[in-house]
Every structure is written in C-alpha cells, then in structure tokens.
Amino acid sequence: MTEEYDVEFVETGDRKARFLVRGVTPAFANGLRRAMVADVPTMAIDEVRFIENSSVMFDEQLALRLGLVPLTTPPEGEFVDGDTVTLSIDVEGPGTAYSGDLVSSDSLVQPAEDNVPIIDLKDDQRLEAEADALIERGKDHAKHQGGVAVGYRHLQRVEVEGDLPEFEDERSQIVRGVIEDDGELVPTSEFDDDLSNRYPGKEVSVEDVPNAFVFHVETDGSFTVDELVTRAVESLEARATELEEAVQL
C-alpha cells in the first residue's frame, strides 16, 4: 500500500501557519492534531526555589506564573526525560519582573517571549528565585503544550451554479476556512468570509472536498510550526514502530 499525500502551504510563518493536506483520512488528521497538542514535549519551569519573595503574591502563585512562560525547546535528542535546566530571576522594585528577566544556564532554553509580566513590584519588594525547567508533554500539564491553537477544517470547493434570479435579493453566504476555486486556494478572509462578495449575483454551491484538510497550527514559540508538525508525526511513528516490535515478540 503506497500512500499519496500532498501538502501545500496557504500561509507560512514561524509561529503560525496554515497548510492543506490532501489524501489523509479523518482518523490520521485527528491523530496528528492530538499529537501536536498533547504529545510533543516542551520545556517549562516545574520547580522554583525562592530565595526572596517580598512581593504581594504567594510563592505558589508565582511558581505557576513562571511555569506558564513559554521556553524555547532544544532540538530533539539534546534533552531526555528527567533532564533539567536552571533559570534564575532577580528583580528589585519598583518595577515589573518580566519573563525576559529570567537568566538561563543553557543558551538553547530561553524564554520564547520577553515581555510576559510575572509580578509588579513596589518599593522595597524583591523577587529572587531559581527555577528548574523540565521537558514534558502537554498531556501532563498545559504548560508543556507546544501547539496552542491547532485545528483543521475541510477544504471547501465552491462552484458557480448560475446567475441569481433577476428579482432576488442578494443574501450573504458565510464560509470560513479555505476554498478551492478552479484549483486555486483562497482563504475566505480575502473576501470577508462572504461568498456573495466574491461571486456577486451568482448562485454558488459549497461542498467539502473529501480527505482534504486545511490545518491551522500556532505554536507558543517553543519551536517553529514545521518543527511541531514534524515532531508530532514522529511521535505517531515511534508508537507504530513500538507496537510493531512488541507484536513480533
């Protein structure tokens, strides 16, 4: 059995992209989506040792906030389960402690975003802490989720059926996602999601294209979209290999 897949990008970006995949079954598409959300490991702060916390928040609250700061995740193989990276933060009030104030001991693991506020410090308040970041999966805790907005829709084919009857009022026809018009891929945002803008005075029909899915993938900055998709596929592949080997025994 040979599989014929075809991937085409509609929108490209480091952290956000949209691409069309042809030839996949719904089961495979959903497996891929779920793997991106829950099975691709990312780094996140898991344990915090407070040296001084004279801010208005409890240690636990700050630990949660620190945990939610997205960290860049090193290439596969650099880290294994159980490895930690230490980050430290030392900020004195008045002022705000930002994620960018975290100093990492490893250049591969850095805050992906520098302007996440952690706590507003008043005069004489100080935050000094040391934190250990772990690599884990989104399944364990949402802070380890690399894909933050991952979903897919069917590609929709639009066909012009003919002209609207002469005296009929034009009605808006809302479609979201990406449409295929004579083989051309058009994001619906180009015509304000309304087919009556693109085909004024025409009667059109819309239908899902079987086994063609438009994925929308956004990451939290831990890695690029390409990396997230590749790692998700690899996680599915690793499980298939494991099953194949386990069954042979």
When binding is defined by CB under 8 A, the residue of 120, 159, 181, 226 that contacts other proteins is 226
4 binds other proteins (CB under 8 A): yes
10 binds other proteins (CB under 8 A): no
Q: What angle do CA 234, 239, 241 make, to 5 degrees?
A: 90
Q: How far is the CB of 140 from other proteins (least distance, A)?
A: 13
Distances in whole angstroms, Cα of residue 103 to Cα of each of 16, 71, 98, 110? 27, 12, 11, 8
- Contact stretch for other proteins (CB under 8 A) within 2-10, 48-56, 74-82, 157-165: 2-10
- The two structure tokens encoding residue 136: 């884990």
- Contact stretch for other proteins (CB under 8 A) within 28-36, 78-86, 143-151, 164-172: 28-36
3-state secondary structure of 60: helix
Question: 65 or 231: whose CB is closer to other proteins?
Answer: 231
Using an 8 Å Cβ cutoff, are 78 and 133 in contact?
no
166 binds other proteins (CB under 8 A): no
When binding is defined by CB under 8 A, the residue of 39, 46, 136, 220 that contacts other proteins is 39
Q: How far is the CB of 101 from other proteins (least distance, A)?
A: 34
Distances in whole angstroms, Cα of residue 18 to Cα of each of 9, 79, 155? 6, 29, 12
210 binds other proteins (CB under 8 A): no
- The two structure tokens encoding residue 63: 């630990």
